[in-house]
């Protein structure tokens, strides 16, 4: 079910479904809440699921000025406070993971658990193919234009304006870095596909830098693992979000830094 809430002057669209503890799903750059179609019903069997659409995405209008993860984190903080959800489980995918991470660092009181899907913390964590696609403007525009034009309240003619903002954000972010992650106090799940836009070694370094983190690499998946293997992704998400966590019987330090080669 889609609803709107106006926070700090921004009329924000969001999907909401289910009852229970709050879960907030943050879509990736250039897409919208519909990208979570395979996760919302599964999570809503156990939680109250909110899937907001960020500024300039989907049914939420653009705002004058740039689009950055910092500004979208501001919007999300205002959204959570307006809905008075209390601390929520926060799940961010791709650029949505950057937004979720910024919020968790700034307002840990609003986050119970954090999930980062296909989302690094610095540009050097991106694969060569991920970096190259940002120069293929025609292909990128073809991927995102149809859904934008179908839904945007700003009209189809606004796409070139917002697309230029997205490109700038994608080329400059994420820029958080590993050192900041030690401040995360909540449990974190770092999840990606084995053929993703983030180097697996980067995700391992991200998980290693977080005091309480888990790492999941999904076989046979890419940057769109939640669409490709939704049942597996949903099972992992529900396992991580559960109150009871299976105890580790023989932890052997897989995320420790390996010794330097001789």
Q: Residue 200 class from Cβ within 10 Å (0-12 exposed, 13-18 middle, 19+ buried)?
A: middle
Coil/strand/helix, residue 257:
coil
**pLDDT, position 1:** 77
Q: For residue range 35-85, what is the model confidence (pLDDT) as tens digits? A: 999 999 999 999 999 999 999 999 999 999 999 999 999 999 999 999 999
pTM for the structure as a whole: 0.97
* Closest alpha carbon to 24 in 77, 94, 69: 77
Residue range 199-220: mean pLDDT, rounded? 98
Q: Where are the domains of the chain?
A: 2-241
Q: For residue range 171-198, what is the model confidence (pLDDT) as tens digits? A: 999 999 999 999 999 999 999 999 999 9
**pLDDT, position 256:** 87
**pLDDT, position 257:** 73
Element spanning 190, H or E: strand 188-193
What's the helix, strand, coil split of the chain in %, to 5?
A: 40, 20, 35
**pLDDT, position 262:** 46
- The residues with which 88 forms a beta bridge, in sequence order, are 111
Q: Report d(CA 115, CA 90) in Å as an integer.
A: 6
**pLDDT, position 258:** 66
Q: For residue range 116-169, what is the model confidence (pLDDT) as tens digits? A: 999 999 999 999 999 999 999 999 999 999 999 999 999 999 999 999 999 999
Q: In the CATH hierarchy, which fold is given to the domain comprising 2-241?
A: Rossmann fold (3.40.50)
């Amino acid at each position: 079910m889609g609803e709107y809430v106006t926070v700090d002057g921004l009329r924000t669209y969001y999907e909401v479904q289910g009852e229970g503890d709050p879960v907030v799903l943050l879509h990736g750059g250039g897409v919208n809440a519909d990208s979570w179609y395979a996760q919302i019903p599964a999570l809503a069997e156990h939680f109250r699921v909110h899937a907001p659409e960020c500024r300039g995405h989907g049914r939420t209008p653009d705002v004058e000025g740039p689009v950055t993860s910092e500004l979208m984190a501001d919007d999300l903080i205002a959204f959570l406070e307006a809905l008075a959800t209390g601390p929520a489980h926060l799940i961010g995918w791709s650029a949505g993971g950057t937004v979720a991470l910024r919020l968790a660092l700034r307002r840990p009181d609003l986050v119970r658990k954090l999930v980062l899907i296909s989302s690094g913390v610095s540009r050097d964590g991106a694969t060569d193919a991920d970096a190259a696609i940002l120069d293929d403007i025609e292909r990128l525009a073809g991927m995102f234009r149809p859904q934008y034009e179908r839904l945007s309240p700003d009209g189809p003619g606004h796409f070139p304006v917002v697309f230029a903002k997205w490109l700038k954000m994608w080329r400059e972010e994420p820029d958080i870095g590993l050192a900041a992650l030690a401040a995360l106090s909540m449990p974190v799940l770092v999840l990606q596909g084995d053929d993703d836009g983030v180097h697996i070694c980067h995700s391992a370094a991200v998980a290693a830098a977080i005091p309480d983190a888990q790492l999941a690499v999904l076989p046979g998946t890419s940057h769109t693992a939640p669409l490709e293997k939704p049942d597996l992704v949903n099972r992992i998400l529900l396992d991580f979000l559960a109150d009871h966590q299976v105890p580790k019987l023989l932890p052997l330090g897989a995320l420790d830094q390996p010794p330097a080669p001789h």
